[in-house]
Amino acid sequence: MKLKALIVDDEYPARQELRYALSSFDNIEIVGEATNAQEALALIKALEYQVLFLDISMPGMNGLELGAAIQELPRQPQVIFVTAYDEYAVKAFEVNAVDYLLKPVDQARLKKAVDKVWKKYQEINQMDAGAVENGFTTPAARGGNGAGQFKIDRIPAEKQGKTVLVAESDIVYAFTEQDYIYIKTYADKFFTRYTLKELEARLNPNIFFRTHRCYIVNLHKVKEIVPFFNGTYNLVVDDKENSEVPVSRAQAKKLRKILGF
């Protein structure tokens, strides 16, 4: 099995250098190249890639904007950023990047990134196979269309090697931390293999609200709304730590309308 890869970089020498570096991996198959984000987005919509090697600084839409756009697609390749700039790492992980490599790419560092992608891909496949075997399907197994055999108000999650079915009513918020998605209850944090987009589609839309690109909150668990800056807010939620969940400026107007303030 090989992961289908797309290289996106506006510089031809950079694409060739990365192609050569990846040629030593027997689990990666480079099936496409793109010179800009718009071209890459069209290719991603047309073909199912498992991994995207993505530059950040490109004319027009940059790599971070492409990474955000990918989160809205039903088929989402894992993203490894490959860039000459180190100052965008935090923003890269906000769009669920698996890794962030600096040019010129070190071969050992590249191997670690590819290993991360491969491990995550295998874990998702194993979860989907187990779901089908047990009579229900995950969003990934369904192809993202939301049509499963059953719909229950439990979210499969993991802690200390065990799978736990977390009740929707116990979820305080869900969030992205580096390249992983977690569910937070009052006193615990659980790893989940769902993307935030998949969780958003699965959770009750009358209760759960996407406050930010990296957060979904249970509105029944919100205790305080604290104005932040430039029209944004922080929500103090009812968990053990009285955590604060950010609300982006784009979502603040929707939240005000929902809560009536």
Q: Give the CATH number, domain containing residue 18.
A: 3.40.50.2300
> In tens digits, what is the pLDDT along the chain, a chain of 261 residues?
789 999 999 999 999 999 999 999 999 999 999 999 999 999 998 888 999 999 999 999 999 999 999 988 877 899 999 999 888 888 888 888 999 999 999 999 999 999 999 988 887 666 555 444 444 444 444 444 343 444 568 888 888 878 888 999 999 999 998 778 999 999 999 999 888 888 998 899 889 999 999 999 999 999 999 998 888 999 999 999 999 999 999 899 999 888 887
The reply to whether 108 and 184 lie within a common domain is no
Q: How many domains does the chain have?
A: 2
- For residue 251, what are the domain limits? 154-259
Structure tokens at 84: 């000459």
pTM, full prediction:
0.53
List, in order, residues 6 or more apart from 186 with CB less than 8 Å away. 170, 172, 238, 239, 240
CB 97 within 8 A of CB 67: yes
For the chain, give percent helix, strand, coil, nearest 5.
Answer: 35, 30, 40
Residue 172 lies in a domain: yes
Residue 254 lies in a domain: yes
User: Distances from the Cα of 219 to the Cαs of 130, 156, 210, 256, in angstroms?
Assistant: 32, 21, 10, 12
